[in-house]
Chains A and B, each alone.
Chain A
């Protein structure tokens, strides 16, 4: 698996590197899909499970894992680790991962030792 650590999004434009086509995509090329790594519920799940899956969100101030779509580009969904306060981008990585890869977690912890970490 390949990890890409792009430069910071800066404060004028959020820029994420698409892990599929490899280009630095401006936010005008992208569509945000909200919180990543949600557990999908299905037949047999309880109402509260569906509520948690469909509606309730961690909404953290700081490190956030998100789904993004390279909408005006290659069209692929990918994931990003980002800071919602500084708008700093830690990493982008392919969507086919159930939890943040260890290398991404390490990269975040290196910059933010007080981050509580991935559960």
Chain B
């Protein structure tokens, strides 16, 4: 069924009885050409672009839980293309362009809200770095506006500009920066993939990867063995476990990242505000809740919940930046598992096994990459060649030392991002 305003209207007149589930719930077939392990945002978009752009049929997405139940439904929904380094810059720029046409492409409203992302700076040196970053963004063809203190104050009057430790000197505005409806993105890609014949198989956990003579032949799952000519691993925080099934050891540590939502409030924060020095960022959802978060808990965890010290630090950073939110009540907090690479940049590459591909290492920035990553991973699986915007995301960069992409400039070691 194609969605439209007319459809909503006519369904409304007929008691909304015509709506149907938007994807089938098929049992796994014994064999597929391509099996994607992981039905998160990246896995679904990969399947969608395999079917749509490369015309491939006979594809399955295996999801151990339910569609939209992982990190794609648990993030803070920020979409941006304000990267600096070659390798990252063109990729996120490409992903942003896909985002901008996504609702039309999927015929599903992903509620992309290009409200602008503002990154604050607090010193002359940081301003210089942000001027350089802004120029890199403009060179890439994206947009960047440098706001001085007065300009920023007109837009965000409620910040504490004269904070003793981090006085605000201005901000770098990325006007096309956005938020999106995260569940909608998962559902839209799932629906689009299903419409093109992709089998979305839920409650199907992969327990083994079959490799014969250096070539992948299929997977073992909780719903039986499935043969496959090609297998793609897109499992975010669980990359270590799934890769281990193929005898791989990855440059990844899984860490927990927390996020928070306040009670619903009247519209107050119009943009996404990033307070890098406090490791804090915030936006306001369409429902009115303040959505905010901070840094990793900084030790290995699969617990999907965080500890109190980080919560305290995030709340302190919020109060440092905008004392006005002090009386807002936090409704809930949660933690998601991040696949952290040593340099903070992702991996989309072949593996040492023929027909086995991996897309991982998105750290805490996977959501904005959902369209770009799916497009690039689909291209790699279909053609065997890296997508032109994702050439830098090589698995072997840690062995060769070539092309390491340390966007933050903190060093290419675990525990530094």
Contact = CB atoms under 8 A, between A and B. Distances in A.
Contact of B307 (A13, A48, A59, A66): A13
A59 B308 contact: no
B288 interface: no
Nearest to B400: A47
A91 to B, nearest CB: 16
B301 A87 contact: yes
B307 A51 contact: no
B66 interface: no
A14 interface: yes
Given A12-B307, A57-B251, A27 B299 contact: yes
B300 A84 contact: yes
Query: How many B residues touch the partner, as a band?
Result: 20 to 34
A27 B307 contact: yes
B417 to A, nearest CB: 12
B389 to A, nearest CB: 24
A97 interface: no
A50 B414 CA distance: 14
A32 interface: yes
Nearest to A57: B253
Interface string B379-413: 00000000000000000001110000000000001
A11 B300 contact: no
Which of the listed residues B299, B301, B307 has the most CB atoms from chain A within 10 Å of its own CB?
B299
B333 interface: no
B250 A57 contact: yes
Contacts of B240: 57-61
Given A55-B398, A59-B252, A84 B301 contact: yes
Contact of A61 (B302, B305, B309): B302
B251 A56 contact: yes
Interface string B297-319: 01111110101110000000000
B40 interface: no
Contacts of A85: 302-303
A61 B238 contact: yes
A41 interface: no
Contacts of A27: 299, 307, 309
B415 interface: yes
Which of the listed residues B238, B251, B252, B305 has the most CB atoms from chain A within 10 Å of its own CB?
B251
A26 B298 CA distance: 14
Contacts of B252: 57, 59
Contacts of B254: 59, 61, 84
Interface residues of A, number: 30
Nearest to A47: B399
Contacts of B342: 54-55
Interface string A56-82: 111111001010000000000000000
A106 interface: no
A117 interface: no
B393 to A, nearest CB: 15
Nearest to B415: A34
A10 to B, nearest CB: 9
Nearest to A52: B249
A35 B415 CA distance: 11
Nearest to B254: A59
B135 interface: no
B399 A32 contact: no
Contacts of B238: 61
B241 interface: yes
A40 B299 CA distance: 21
Interface of A: 11-14, 26-28, 32-35, 47-48, 50-52, 54-61, 64, 66, 84-87
6 closest Cβ contacts across the A-B interface? A59-B240, A32-B299, A55-B251, A51-B399, A55-B398, A56-B249
22 contacts: A11-B305, A11-B307, A12-B307, A13-B309, A28-B309, A32-B415, A34-B415, A35-B253, A35-B300, A50-B399, A52-B249, A55-B342, A56-B249, A57-B250, A57-B252, A59-B239, A59-B300, A61-B254, A64-B300, A86-B303, A87-B301, A87-B303
Given A61-B241, A66-B300, A84-B254, 12 more contacts: A14-B299, A32-B299, A35-B253, A50-B399, A52-B249, A56-B398, A57-B250, A59-B250, A59-B300, A60-B241, A61-B240, A84-B301
